[in-house]
Amino acid sequence: MSSTKTRVVILGGGFGGAEAAKRLAKSGRGEVEVILLDRHNYLTFYPLLVEAAVGGIEPRHVVVPLRSYARDAFRMGEILNVDLTGKQVRFQASGSTEPTEISFDHLVIGLGSVTRFPNIPGLAENAYELKSVADAIGIRDRAIALMEQANECRDLEKRKQLLTFVIVGGNFTGTELAGELQHFLSELVDGYPNLKKSDIKVIVFEHGKRLLGAMSERASAWALKTLQDRGVEVHLGSSVVEVLPQGVRTETQEWVPAESTFWTAGIQPSPLLKNIAGLPLTERGYIKARADLRVDGYDNVWAVGDAAAVPMPDGKPFAATAQNAVRQGPQVAKNILSSIAGKPLENFEYRSLGAFAVLGGYKAAADLFGLNVNGLIGWLLFRGAYLSKMPTFALKLRLSMDWFLDLFLRAPTVQIGVHRSRIPMPPAAQEPTEIGKGH
Q: Mean pLDDT per segment of 10 residues, for the chain of length 439 residues? A: 80 95 88 94 90 85 89 92 96 88 97 93 94 91 94 94 96 95 92 93 96 94 96 96 96 95 93 94 96 97 96 92 92 97 94 87 90 92 85 86 82 66 42 34
DSSP label of 293 = S
Domain 117-265+414-439 fold: FAD/NAD(P)-binding domain (3.50.50)
CB 65 within 8 A of CB 37: no
pLDDT at 430: 39
The helix (H) or strand (E) run that includes residue 93 is strand 88-93
Sequence letter at residue 132: S
- Residues of CATH 3.50.50.60 domain(s) within the chain? 6-115+268-341
Sequence letter at residue 302: W
- Tell me the whole-structure pTM to 2 decimals: 0.88
pLDDT at 434: 33
Nearest to 112 by CA among 398, 303, 265, 241: 303
Alpha carbon distances (Å) from 314 to 8, 163, 293: 30, 47, 16
Ranges of H-type helices in 41-101: 49-53
pLDDT at 409: 76
How many other C-beta atoms lie within 10 A of the C-beta of residue 312?
15
Domain 6-115+268-341 fold: FAD/NAD(P)-binding domain (3.50.50)
pLDDT at 437: 31
Judge residue 382's burial from the number of C-beta atoms within 10 Å of its C-beta, 0-12 exposed, 13-18 middle, 19 or more buried: buried
DSSP label of 422 = T
- Residues of CATH 3.50.50.100 domain(s) within the chain? 117-265+414-439
Distance of alpha carbon 115 from the chain centroid: 8
Residue pLDDT, tens place only, 168-223:
999 999 999 999 999 999 989 988 999 999 999 999 999 999 999 989 999 999 99
Radius of gyration, CA atoms only, the chain: 23
pLDDT at 30: 78
End-to-end CA, the chain: 56
